């Protein structure tokens, strides 16, 4: 999962800001370090959304040469996808838990940035949302 950052030059530094995530931005003096700083800022911003029980915004495609993709940690991406899918389905954590045959606490943990989830629980939740869990291991280019 990735979000797009709009990159501009401002006062001699590089600015990366995320149109889908209001207020999420970072500066870097060096162009090379901008991508990592943008990733750190974005992941922190998204984790706070989850911690406060908010629904993080879905990433959208933005067109232009000044946009770069910023990939987020797959564990965080999974938590965001669960929260987004549950919200889109109009389900509470309790509703989803009943459908998946797990406890509401397990759903809360799946959506919290600091917990660990089993693949079995993820598969149950995906099925309850009418989705499939697809875990892949791919070589890094």
Q: Is the pLDDT of residue 138 over 90?
A: no
* 15 beta partners: 8, 27
Q: Which pLDDT tens digit goes with each residue over 28-80?
A: 877 678 999 999 999 999 999 999 999 999 999 999 999 999 999 988 999 99
Q: Is 101 helix (H, G, I), strand (E, B) or coil?
A: coil
Residue 139's pLDDT is 84
Q: What is the mean pLDDT of residues 117-134?
A: 91
Q: What pLDDT sits at residue 10?
A: 84
Axis-axis angle for helices 119-128, 104-111 (nearest 10): 100
pLDDT for 117 equals 80
Phi and psi dihedrals of 130, rounded to 5?
75, 30
Residue identified by tokens 């389900």 is 91
Sheet harboring 25-28: ordered strands across? 25-28, 13-17, 2-10, 67-71
Q: Which own/partner contact pairs does 99-108 have at CB distance under 8 Å and 24+ positions apart? A: 99/128, 99/129, 100/124, 100/125, 100/127, 100/128, 101/128, 107/82
Residue count of the chain, please give it. Answer: 141
For 74-128, which CATH superfamily applies? lambda repressor-like DNA-binding domains (1.10.260.40)
**Domain spans of the chain?**
2-71, 74-128
- Which pLDDT score, from 0 to 100, does residue 19 have? 97
Measured at the alpha carbon of residue 137, what is the angle toward residues 104 and 117, in degrees to the nearest 5?
Answer: 15
Asked, colleague to colleague, whether 2-71 and 74-128 share their fold, the answer is no
Domain 2-71 bears CATH identifier 1.10.1040.10: no
Note the pLDDT of residue 31. 65
135 vs 84, which has greater pLDDT? 84
Q: What tens digit of pLDDT does each residue of 83-105 get?
A: 999 999 999 999 999 999 999 99
């Amino acid at each position: 999962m990735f979000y797009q950052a709009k990159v501009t030059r401002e006062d001699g530094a590089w600015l990366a800001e995320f149109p889908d995530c209001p207020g999420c931005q970072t500066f870097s003096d060096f162009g090379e370090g901008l991508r990592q700083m943008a990733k750190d800022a974005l992941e922190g911003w998204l984790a706070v959304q989850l911690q406060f029980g908010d629904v993080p915004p879905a990433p959208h495609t933005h067109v232009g040469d000044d946009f770069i993709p910023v990939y987020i940690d797959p564990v965080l991406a999974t938590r965001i996808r669960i929260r987004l899918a549950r919200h889109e389905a109009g389900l509470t954590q309790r509703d989803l838990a009943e459908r998946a045959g797990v406890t509401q606490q397990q759903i809360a943990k799946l959506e919290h940035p600091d917990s660990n989830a089993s693949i079995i629980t993820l598969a149950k939740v995906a099925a309850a949302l009418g989705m499939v869990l697809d875990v892949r291991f791919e070589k890094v280019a």
